[in-house]
Structure 1
Amino acid sequence: MNLSSTSAKTDFIKISAALLVPFIGLVALLVFAGDASNGDDFNQAKLHQVNVVPLEQQQAYQQQRIVYGNIEARRTADLGFEFAGKLASMNVDEGYYVKAGDVLAELDSSRLQAQLNAQKAAQKRNDANEALAVSTLKRVEDLSQRNLDSKQRLDESRQQLKSVRATREEINANIQRLQVELEKSQIRAPFDGYVVAQYKDAGSVISPSAPIITLREFGELEARFAMPMRHARTFSNKNKQTVHYLNVGEKQYAAKLKSASPNRNLQTRTVDVIFTLDEGQDTLLPGDLIALAMREVIQEKGFWVPKSALNSGVRGLWTLYTVADTQKQQVIAKSVELLYSEDNKAFVRGTFTDNELVVVSGVHRLVPNQMVVAVMQNAGVMAAKGHYE
């Protein structure tokens, strides 16, 4: 081996080591200096930042209920004749609009008209008999005063006049009865409305009380809801001026309470509550489904929280994360029971205290006992009771 080559290599290693040691020392010095000045900020920056809000215990909550009912006309009538006969004419058809008093259908009244004519003729004959009886009585009374006629004759003349007048009353009664029957041989509209059904045509033989036409009133519409008693009792007949809002699809209609029935339907075990709609005749039809949103007070203690604060737990429960204070904190997981939820809020029951801070954002990224930076959210989010109650 060449001694000069070996010596050169040894010198190179010594020089490299001499240069490397100060460089390593400088790097180590810079690292330690950096850790000493920025370690806390670096660790703080790595912590997850969460928003928290204080809880406020409630003694009860309002649960929204949607009750469905049906649109009805204020009046609907099945019209028919009171006695049998042959249907002579049908003056309307389904869909016709009629006014109160219009003649809708008529029975063949030729027999009644003949009987009426006979009674009017009998009335004329009786008028003649009455005039004769009056004249006869006057003559007999004059003769009797002069003792030219017997008292028996006088009594007979008086009774004859009474009999003729009684016959007149009987004929008048028969005429009145026939006129009523002639009137009842016509079906007249009892109110303004639409013919929604026609069951017979001209020429049909009609049975007594058989429906011929169904007439539905045009005008005010009503909404009928069958409710449980606990819901129906919230509507008082004393507050009929209160405006309620009913919904058909996305359209809303103003209505006022008409009546809350004091009786229970024995078949459905419900109570009927009826509202009168101020508008909607042009857009609603009887039979349409209509909805009423109402709130029921549930006496149950708990807390309103945003839905974003809930994290799924086990065995049907949910989890909320709480912290002791703001700034750097450790989250604590607590199981809660979900009692009710709507929109963006939920009412829960659990072992909490008033003003305890609950995490309301980013809970899906948290685990129990994780260190976080807690920041108080805008007070208006939870403080506004109208938003969470």
Structure 2
Amino acid sequence: MIQHNKTNPFQFTLVRIKLILLIFLTASTLTACSKAVEKKEATNSYQQSASLLTISPEKSYTIARNYLGQITAKQHTSLSFEYSGRISDVLVDSGDVIKKGQLLAQQDTQLLNYKTTELQSQKKQAQAQITLNKANLSRIKTLINDGYSSLQRLDELNSENKILQAQISGLNARINTLQYQREKSALIAPFDGVITERFISNGDLSNISQPSFRFIEKANNEINVGIPRKVASTLVLGQIFNITIDNTTLIDKTKQAKLIAIGQQINTVNRTVQLRLKMLKKLDKGNSYNGQLVRVTIEQKIKKPGFWLPLNAITDGVRGQWQLFIASPTGDSNNRFQLQPATVNVLHTSERSAYINGLSLEPHKIVAQGVHRYVGGQVVKASTQVLANIAGSQE
């Protein structure tokens, strides 16, 4: 008798479940592997972007230096009386604007008047004696012709006449001296200007060595500035310079200064050469004080080949040197570049840029900013960011 095995329905269901789970696990594993491979490939194909800039060689660079000078009046003097005397009148004071020929102060001339009157009286006396002498000479000549007088008397009268003439000449000279002294008792302005200081008052007894006023020429200012000899040797007369007064730069052409003289003497204290500059236009009242400090900007051209680049394009290198990254094309069509470090020398820096040398004198493409994020040999993509071309700029 044949017995047939009956299939258990529960076992059949369990087998189906295991088969489904196996298929699901296999599919999940394959999916995960695929994503890992894709992620790895994406990682391998990513390149960091970099802002690149092409720099071109320059033959020289210009340094703008500020030198401290001061505004000075073209003419300035300490006015004083030529002779001692008592001050009778002071007509001006500090800050007064005066004209050439204007009376500033007056000395008492009463004593001079008395002396002049005395000398004029002596002159009249001598003139009267000359008149008498001439009359005596006429009589003596008549008597000599008639034989009643000697020639000795004639000689005496002639000598007396010469003495009287000499006395009159001496008196005239003394009178002229007093007249000159009387004229100099009035202190007169020698040119248009401004009284900066007054040292006398009515009733003072002035001495020859004592200044009465300090006086400067008005609105004819110059600038005096000392600069190194090497810089002075590069300048030529007629050059125009910008000036700065009270931290305000006067860049208007009508307010710039022109070089009118280069000194030939080196200052023994600070070893500088003195320059004189003339304002192209008179300064306004607020900027025309005598002795006011001024900064004169002088540009000096240095003939050394090199490159201008942004300060952000260089970073600290080894042993105190400076380093930048040169970007060389990789040769593919993906606009990719390989970075190579290069050591350079910084010759000059301005507010935002640097002038360097140490590279071959040909155009180079460099990393313009963020150089600390890159390493040598790294492959980067050129950034689409547009950078200002600062080659040759010193701003």
The TM-score bracket by the shorter chain reads: 0.7 to 0.9
* Separation of aligned partners in 1, 2:125 and 2:45: 122
Q: Which residue of 1 aligns with 2:266?
A: 264
Q: Which residue of 1 aligns with 2:312?
A: 308
Q: Which residue of 2 aligns with 1:332?
A: 340
- For the pair 1:243 / 2:240, whether they are aligned, the reply is yes
Q: Which moves more between the two structures, 186-195 or 372-381?
A: 372-381
1:10-58 deviation per Cα after TM superposition (whole angstroms, max 9, x unaligned): 12332454577678768978998x89xxx68x86664314313144264
Structure 2 contact 306–361 (Cα < 8 Å) conserved: no
1:220-274 deviation per Cα after TM superposition (whole angstroms, max 9, x unaligned): 10100012211222334xx34x433322122412222232111122233222111
* Separation of aligned partners in 2, 1:140 and 1:234: 86
Q: Which residue of 2 aligns with 1:291?
A: 295
Structure 1 contact 243–254 (Cα < 8 Å) conserved: yes
C-alpha displacement of 1:200: 2.5
C-alpha displacement of 1:166: 1.1
Identify the match of residue 10 of structure 1 among 15, 25, 32: 15
Q: Which moves more between the two structures, 354-363 or 373-382?
A: 373-382
C-alpha displacement of 1:294: 1.2
- From the superposition, tell whether residues 360 and 129 of structure 1 become closer, same or farther in structure 2 (CA, over 3 Å): same
Paired residue secondary structure (2:77) = strand
Q: Which moves more between the two structures, 192-201 or 301-310?
A: 301-310
Which blocks of at least 5 consecutive residues in structure 1 are unaligned? none
Q: Which residue of 2 aligns with 1:157?
A: 157
Paired AA for residue 248 in structure 2? E
C-alpha displacement of 1:275: 0.9
Paired residue secondary structure (2:268) = coil
* Aligned CA-pair RMSD: 3.2
Structure 2 contact 80–212 (Cα < 8 Å) conserved: yes
Structure 2 contact 53–387 (Cα < 8 Å) conserved: no
Q: Which moves more between the two structures, 263-272 or 111-120?
A: 263-272
> 1:10-29, aligned counterparts within 5 Å?
10-18=15-23
* Separation of aligned partners in 2, 1:328 and 1:19: 43
> 1:206-217, aligned counterparts within 5 Å?
206-217=206-217
Paired residue secondary structure (2:190) = coil
TM-score with structure 2 length normalisation?
0.83
C-alpha displacement of 1:321: 0.5
* Separation of aligned partners in 2, 1:122 and 1:161: 16
C-alpha displacement of 1:375: 6.7
Paired AA for residue 5 in structure 1? F
Structure 2 contact 243–295 (Cα < 8 Å) conserved: yes
> 1:54-93, aligned counterparts within 5 Å?
54-56=55-57, 58=59, 60-93=60-93
* Separation of aligned partners in 2, 1:291 and 1:351: 36
C-alpha displacement of 1:353: 4.8
TM-score with structure 1 length normalisation?
0.85
C-alpha displacement of 1:3: 4.4
Identify the match of residue 279 of structure 1 among 282, 301, 304: 282
Structure 1 contact 52–375 (Cα < 8 Å) conserved: no
Which blocks of at least 5 consecutive residues in structure 2 are unaligned? 1-6
* Separation of aligned partners in 2, 1:29 and 1:192: 97
